[in-house]
Structure 1
C-alpha cells in the first residue's frame, strides 16, 4: 500500500509539472528524476522535514551567531586567495552521492561532505568511498532534526554523539566538523557544540539546489556569488522524492567555470587551516 501511494504521488507530481522525465535528454537543462520505486525501502528520512518547507523559516541568522561565537562558527575562508570549498549535505544517498563523487573525480576536486549518521550507517560503502577519494567528512546529526524546533541541548548531544561514533568506525577518526540541519542553531546549541570540541561550518554561498531549478540556474546562482574564500552549500542527498540530478549537472558547469576564473577547490579544513580530527 505504501509503495502504491508513493507511486501515485510521483505520478501526480509529474502531471503537475514538478518533474520532467526524458530518458533521451541531452540538454543540461533537462534532467531525469529518480523513479520512486527505486528508492531503497530502508532509506532513512529527514526527521525535520524537507528543505523546501524548513529553510524558509530561518530562526537565528548564522551571521549573527558567527559574530557571537567567532571561535566556533565559520562561514567563509580568507579572501586573500582564490580558493573555495564545495560542501555537500544530507548524504550518503544511494541515488545521487556516487554520481557527485564521479563528477568530483572527473575534475580532480576535493570536497567536504556533511553526512547523516543514519544514512552513513545504512550506506557505509559510500562514506568509505568519500574517504578513499580524499574528501573530508563531517557530522550532520543522526536523523537530521530541526534542532531549533526540538529546543533540546540533550537531543543535540545525542544526535551528534551517535553520528560521531558511527563515523569513527567508518573513517578512522572522530570528526571535528559539524553542520546543523538547515543551518538552524541558537546560542545554547552553539555553546554545547563548542564544549564538544566542534567547529560549526556554515556557508557564504547557497546554491539553493534544494529548489530543484534547472542546472544552469543552480550554476549561475553559485558562480555569480562566489568570492575568494567562499564556502559553497550543495546537497548530495534529500528527502524521499528529492531530485539531485540538477545538482550533479550543475557541478559540471560550476567547476570548469570557476577553474577558468583561476579558483582552486579545496576542503573546508584546507580553506580555513583548521583541524578536522579531534
Structure 2
C-alpha cells in the first residue's frame, strides 16, 4: 500500500496548478523524486505503479550528474557488455526457473531481492551466490518509499540487509528501490551508508505480463553497450512472468550473436566485490 502523502505536499501541488509560481523553486528543490528512466514521481490513486508523465525528463540525468559515485544508470559504452538484473525475488514460481536458464547458458546476473522473500526462501539466495550471481537489496516489503520518511526508508533497507546476510554471506552494497522511486534525501543517505543505487536504462516491461516476444523485443531493441537491463524474478499474487522465463534463452543467444558479453552489475560498473 502506498504511504500517505503529507498534506502540505498535496496542498502545494493543487495550489501550484492554479498559481504555477506560488510554490517557487525552494519547494521544487526539496521534492526531487525519480522513477526508473523517467523522473518525477507523482501519486496515483488508481494505479499500483507511479504515473509516467512527460515531466520526468531530465531529473534522472540531473541526479546521475550530481551523485555519480553512488547513483548508476548504465555502464561504459566502450565495451559490449550488458548486465541482466532481476527484481522482486526470490519466489516459489519463477526464480528457480530463471536460475536454471542462467546456469544452462553460463550467464551471471544480479538479483535485487525483497527482504521478506529472502527470509522465506534462503535456499534460493544461497543458490544465487553459489552460482556466482550477485545479490542486491530491494527493500523489505517492496513499498513505494519516496513519499515516506527517511526513517521508514532506512528501516526498509537495513532490515533487508539483515535478512539477506545469513544466506548470502554478505550484506549487499547494491540497492535498487521499488518502482525506481527515491528522493534526494534518501539517495544521499544511501550513498553515505556505503550503498550504490542501481537503476537501469533498458526496461523489459515484463511486469505487464507480456508475451515472450514482447519481452524480447523491448530488450533487444533498446540494448546498447553498457546497458543495465531490468526484468523480474518474482511476481505479486497471480502475476504471470512466464514471458520473462520463456524469452530469456532467446535474449541470451541473440545478444551473444551480436557480440555482447553478460556480466554482473559490479563487473559492469567496476564496483569492488561484495563481502
Task: Confirm or deny a common fold (TM above 0.5).
Answer: yes
Instruction: Find 1:185's aligned residue among 182, 190, 193.
Output: 182
Instruction: Find 1:226's aligned residue among 223, 242, 248.
Output: 223
Instruction: Find 1:65's aligned residue among 63, 66, 80.
Output: 63
Residue in 2 that maps onto 1:107: 105
SS in 1 for 2:147: helix
Residue in 2 that maps onto 1:31: none
Query: Structure 1 residues 56, 103: closer, same or farther in 2, change over 3 A?
Result: farther
- Distance in 1 (CA, whole Å) between partners of 2:62 and 2:205 is 21
Aligned pairs, number: 228
Question: What's the offset of the Cα at 1:177?
Answer: 0.4
Query: Structure 1 residues 160, 63: closer, same or farther in 2, change over 3 A?
Result: same
Question: What's the offset of the Cα at 1:170?
Answer: 1.1
8 Å CA contact 1:176–1:197 kept in 2: the answer is: yes
Question: What's the offset of the Cα at 1:187?
Answer: 0.6
- Distance in 2 (CA, whole Å) between partners of 1:66 and 1:180 is 15
Q: Structure 1, residues 45-78: CA drift from partner, whole Å, max 9, x if none?
A: xxx99xx731434796433321221111001111
User: Matches of residues 150-169 of structure 1 in structure 2 within 5 Å?
Assistant: 150=148, 152-169=149-166
Residue in 1 that maps onto 2:93: 95
- Distance in 1 (CA, whole Å) between partners of 2:220 and 2:81 is 13
SS in 2 for 1:88: strand
Instruction: List gaps (5 residues or longer) in structure 2.
Output: 1-42
Residue in 1 that maps onto 2:126: 128
- Distance in 2 (CA, whole Å) between partners of 1:258 and 1:55 is 31
Residue in 1 that maps onto 2:249: 252
Does residue 1:196 correspond to 2:193, yes or no?
A: yes
Does residue 1:241 correspond to 2:238, yes or no?
A: yes
SS in 2 for 1:166: helix
Residue in 1 that maps onto 2:270: 273
Residue in 2 that maps onto 1:41: none
8 Å CA contact 1:147–1:184 kept in 2: the answer is: yes
Residue in 1 that maps onto 2:170: 173
Question: What's the offset of the Cα at 1:119?
Answer: 0.3
Residue in 2 that maps onto 1:39: none
Instruction: List gaps (5 residues or longer) in structure 1.
Output: 1-47
Question: What's the offset of the Cα at 1:149?
Answer: 2.9
- Distance in 2 (CA, whole Å) between partners of 1:156 and 1:66 is 20
Does residue 1:139 correspond to 2:156, yes or no?
A: no
- TM-score relative to the length of structure 2: 0.79
- Distance in 2 (CA, whole Å) between partners of 1:145 and 1:92 is 16
Question: What's the offset of the Cα at 1:212?
Answer: 1.3
What is the root-mean-square deviation of aligned Cα atoms in Å? 1.8
- Distance in 2 (CA, whole Å) between partners of 1:120 and 1:155 is 19
